[in-house]
Amino acid sequence: MMPVQSSASRPFSPDNLQNSSELTLNGSIYKIRDMGSFAFIILRTARYLVQCVFDPQKCDADLNTLVENSSIKVSGSIVLDKRAENGFELHLNYITVLSSPYAQMPISINKKGLNISLETNLENRPYILRNHKQRAVFKLQEGIVSGFRNYMLANGFTEIHSPKIVESGAEGGANIFKLDYFGEKAYLAQSPQFYKQTMVGVFDRVFEIAPVYRAEKHNTSRHLNEYIGLDFEMAYIDDMYDVMAMETGMLRAVMEELKANYSQELKLLNVDLPEIDFIPALTFMEAKGILKESGRKIKNYYDFEPDEELAVSEFIKKEYNSEFVFITHFPSSKRPFYAMDDKVDPDYALSFDLFFRGLEVTTGGQRVHDYTEQVQKMTDKGLDPAEFESYLMIHKYGMPPHGGLGIGLERLLMRLLNQQNVREASLFPRDLSRLSP
Amino acid sequence: MMPVQSSASRPFSPDNLQNSSELTLNGSIYKIRDMGSFAFIILRTARYLVQCVFDPQKCDADLNTLVENSSIKVSGSIVLDKRAENGFELHLNYITVLSSPYAQMPISINKKGLNISLETNLENRPYILRNHKQRAVFKLQEGIVSGFRNYMLANGFTEIHSPKIVESGAEGGANIFKLDYFGEKAYLAQSPQFYKQTMVGVFDRVFEIAPVYRAEKHNTSRHLNEYIGLDFEMAYIDDMYDVMAMETGMLRAVMEELKANYSQELKLLNVDLPEIDFIPALTFMEAKGILKESGRKIKNYYDFEPDEELAVSEFIKKEYNSEFVFITHFPSSKRPFYAMDDKVDPDYALSFDLFFRGLEVTTGGQRVHDYTEQVQKMTDKGLDPAEFESYLMIHKYGMPPHGGLGIGLERLLMRLLNQQNVREASLFPRDLSRLSP
């Protein structure tokens, strides 16, 4: 019987240096630069690269026993040096090797630029992610999620966890994964739509951060088959503009979070954060009109082509200096059955997308809350209300006016970093041909 | 083109009353008590029940037009009253009906005790959750998650999101859901084990809050087929006691979070929070010895039976006044291939469980970090290392000593509330026969 005591120390941060002159660090040897009479050892710690100076006169260790990617524990003296990355060098006194690699990496990760194809990167992801720029992408992903969540919590939203194994798809269509559930047919959730609406009836405002599954059969640079959805849903709205305003405030908070707590990754990846003052909104038909005026041939009056999203974004950037634009009032026929139609012109839904730097990153809108209206809309769309009995309970027994949205985390991150392919913004992407790592 | 402005107000909280004398609120009519010359209207807001007083002399509305479960907007004067739940009553001046139910609920949710079976509860979950005690369970669930996450972030852990569609199971065994992935065989992740170890090689300390899938074919009060895993993994540990100490600190932080920010739900559900001073630890064999000494017949020397978990917990409660107990050094043959064996006695693994009030809520331990050792252990267990090539990359190219654990969120919540069935701690539980709602 023994009480449990910890000897593990918190990961290194330069903010914690204070006035100490000695420092003990854990880390992986990122690079050794042998300068003849001494050597630089770059130590990769949880978040920082730390430049250590190894002088055989002062440190009781044999340089020849040290290899890249060994995990070591070091102690030394802090020597302030403004040229060094964290404002100091560590002059080593002790080195303990904790673990050594079995082999050296086929692809060196300590180069400034990796210079490998996306295919090679993804095949070797388990160690490629150890590159300091590769991993910085996912610290920023953490920052976006933190900014989103903190804003939601501060605005009275309750965090929920809804099941991903479901009886039926919420978004319709064929792009849904099927599953054998103890002999029954089941699916992987295409969105938490039914559940977040249900929980709006319980908590008024809810949000969820969870995986979303789309069995899209096309291989593009902007689709993933499993991604993280940032979803929220809110009651007591006057109209969909309340939802759009909430998203605007949230995005502003996300950028502030990144600026405040992720400055080192922003600098490392040379990220140009968007300024969000206000986000302009165009109706679907206004946007199509602008495209037409600019001399484009409009083929599709139900949705946007990728190059149209880009052109609308560029127009808005030039005219309003905004990197975001809302598109509202999409054609009702292309929006899901839970979207509320515009009473003024029911051919259009009170539904919107958000484009960021030419890419759709959000779909949202006001939802139907009235039972009779929802049953009618299902029937109009050729759906059988009897199949949605438990979902319709919420309308039947009273729902407040409400709306919400879903954001694709990886798409938001991808545009923030101006990446070419959404797979770069996912730790272990799932696509048509990729199930591993 | 219009700038987006929001008129939506934050949900009511009694903390924000300050010195105002007037208040406007949104909510659902929870209960109407007609007293003859006046009426009480209990308004269900996002988190609080607010007692409103309707006097036809002072309020321009017809009581007969109001029904339970209508969504309304009200304005009135605050009249302080220490007997009222939030310290005040709202004397109404205006009522606007925003939305009305189509039908009244088959089961009234505004009773003190619901008095329905679990089966009926789960069938009608979409509106039963609107009961103020039912929903309080999930505010506390939010609190546990917040406490966990904040503690992790404060201790230098990075939040990650790993895929749930995977090529192979991490935990072995037959309890895994199969999936058709564009013609390939795929699975739903039994744990984020491989990915969190991989990410320890990247960020030293990581955590994840995400669904976990177990195709358990037995119907018990403690198993769910989809649950939320609170997982963490940390590098540069001396031994598994560092992991156990991290969990102890985290659990203490969770209880503090609940005490600080969820006192109203704790009171409503009469929750007795455990005091966590230190958590005693017994080895597996010590625990079996205690059971034997107490006169029990030990049938299973590889794991614990549910009644044994309870008996060990009761012993520890009596002897050490702790509601938690760690059990360490489980038989190696029953622990997964990634668990590190005790060098002193390799029949036992450096692996532990945590029991809380008689129920296992955590499994964790130190992991193998050496490549040769991991390959050997796989081979000894009859596994083919070639099938784990991308996982083994992390060992091959260098891993620090590390360990971690997984916690079942619903089990932790279930024991905290002394619920009889883990389904009560899940919003929309998935079990052998339940795919909906």
Report the CATH number at residue B78: 2.40.50.140
**What is the mean predicted confidence (pLDDT) over B77-97?**
92
Model confidence at B220: pLDDT above 90? yes
Set of chain A residues whose Cβ sits within 8 Å of the Cβ of B182: 215, 217, 432-433
Confidence of residue B347 (pLDDT cuts 50, 70, 90): very high
Interface test with B, best of A5, A6, A244, A257 (most B CBs within 10 A): A6
B13 or A43, higher pLDDT: A43
Provide the pLDDT confidence category of residue A7 given band limits of 50, 70 and 90: low
Specify the pLDDT at position B207. Answer: 98
B228, part of any domain: yes
Q: Are A179 and A205 in contact (CB under 8 A)?
A: no
Residue B3 has pLDDT above 50, yes or no: no
pLDDT for residue A402 is more than 80: yes
Residue B386: phi and psi, rounded to 5, are -60, -25
Quote the CA–CA distance of B9 and B70 in Å, as a whole number: 19
**CB hemisphere CA count around A154 (13 angstroms):** 11
Would you call A98 an interface residue with chain B, using a CB distance cutoff of 8 Å? yes
Instruction: Looking at the structure, tell me whether residues A69 and A153 fall in a common domain.
Output: no
- The answer to whether B141 contacts chain A (CB < 8 Å) is yes
> What CATH number is associated with residue B203?
3.30.930.10
- Residue A73 maps to a domain: yes
Confidence of residue A3 (pLDDT cuts 50, 70, 90): very low
Domain end residue (candidates: B47, B78, B99): B99
Same domain, A76 and A176: no
| B2 touches A: beta carbon within 8 Å | yes
State pLDDT tens for residues A234-292: 999 999 999 999 999 999 999 999 999 999 999 999 999 999 999 999 999 999 999 99
Same domain, residue pair B195 and B287: yes
Beta bridge partners of B44: B28, B49
Residues A87 and A136 both lie in one domain: no
If asked whether residues B184 and B63 sit together in one domain, one would say no
Q: Does A148 have pLDDT greater than 70?
A: yes
Number of separate domains in chain A: 2
Shared domain for A25 and A174, answered yes or no, is no
Q: How does pLDDT run across B237-286, given as a tens digit for each residue?
A: 999 999 999 999 999 999 999 999 999 999 999 999 999 999 999 999 99
In the listed set A99, A121, A156, which residue is the last one of a domain according to the structure? A99
- In a domain, residue A327? The reply is yes
User: What is the span of the domain harbouring residue A418?
Assistant: 132-425
What's the confidence (pLDDT) of residue A293?
Answer: 95
Same domain, yes or no: A85 and A230: no
By DSSP bridging, strand B178-181 and strand B281-283 are: unpaired
Evaluate if residue B64 carries a pLDDT over 50.
Answer: yes
A289 touches chain B (CB under 8 A): no
- With cut-offs at 50, 70 and 90, classify the pLDDT of residue A6: low
Asked if residue A105 is part of any domain, the answer here is no
Structure confidence by residue, pLDDT tens digits, B299-323: 899 999 999 999 999 999 999 999 9
Q: Hey, what are B334's tokens? A: 């029953």
Query: Within 13 A of A282's CA, how many CA atoms are on the CB side?
Result: 20
CB proximity B376 to A under 8 Å = no
In a domain, A431, yes or no: no
Structure tokens at A162: 């809804």
Using an 8 Å Cβ cutoff, are B392 and B372 in contact?
Answer: no
What does the CA dihedral A134, A137, A142, A145 come to, rounded to 10 degrees? -150
The answer to whether B408 is a known ligand-binding residue is yes
B235/A contact by beta carbon, under 8 A: yes
B345: DSSP letter = -
User: Would you place residue A170 in the very low, low, confident or very high pLDDT band (cuts 50, 70, 90)?
Assistant: confident
Residue B411, marked binder: yes
Q: Supply the pLDDT for residue A13.
A: 87
Instruction: Tally C-beta pairs within 8 A across A and B.
Output: 350
CA-wise closest residue to B155 among B229, B201, B206, B195: B206
Of the candidates A215, A172, A159, A213, which has an alpha carbon nearest to the alpha carbon of residue A191? Answer: A213
| CB-closest option in B126, B205, B396 to A102 | B396
Question: In Å, how far are A63, B43, B228, B235, B412 from A73, measured between CA atoms?
Answer: 14, 60, 35, 12, 36
- A48 touches B at CB < 8 Å: no
Predicted local confidence at residue B124, as pLDDT: 98
Q: Note whether A239 and A368 are same-domain residues.
A: yes
Residue B178 is given by DSSP the state E
Give the span between the Cα atoms of B245 and B283, in whole angstroms: 16
**Residue B149, SS3 per DSSP:** helix
Query: Which chain B residues are closer than 8 Å to A131 by Cβ?
Result: none
What average pLDDT does the segment B228-245 reach? 98
CB contact under 8 A, B398 and A69: yes
Q: What percent of chain B has pLDDT over 70?
A: 98
Confidence band of B120 (pLDDT split at 50, 70, 90): very high
Residue B235 lies in a domain: yes
Torsion of CA B356, B357, B358, B359, to 10 degrees: -40
- Among A74, A99, A124, the domain boundary falls at A99
Instruction: Give the mean pLDDT of A319-346.
Output: 96
Pair B217, B337 in one domain: yes
pLDDT tens digits along A39-93: 999 999 999 999 999 999 999 899 999 999 999 999 999 999 888 888 899 999 9
Q: Which of A100, A155, A390 comes nearest B436 by C-beta?
A: A390
ipTM value > 0.90: yes
With 80 as the cut, is the pLDDT of residue B2 above it?
no
Q: How does residue B357 score in pLDDT terms, banded at 50, 70 and 90? A: very high
Minimal Cβ distance to A8: which of B135, B153, B234: B234
Q: What whole-number distance in Å separates Cα of residue A53 and Cα of residue A62?
A: 14
Residue A178 lies in a domain: yes
- Residue of chain B whose alpha carbon sits nearest to that of A146: B159
Task: Assign 3-state DSSP to chain B and report helix, strand, coil percentages, each to 5.
Answer: 30, 25, 40
Quote the pLDDT of residue B7: 55
From B1's Cα to the closest Cα of chain A, the distance in A is 5
CB B236 within 8 A of CB B404: no
More confident residue, B43 or A81: B43
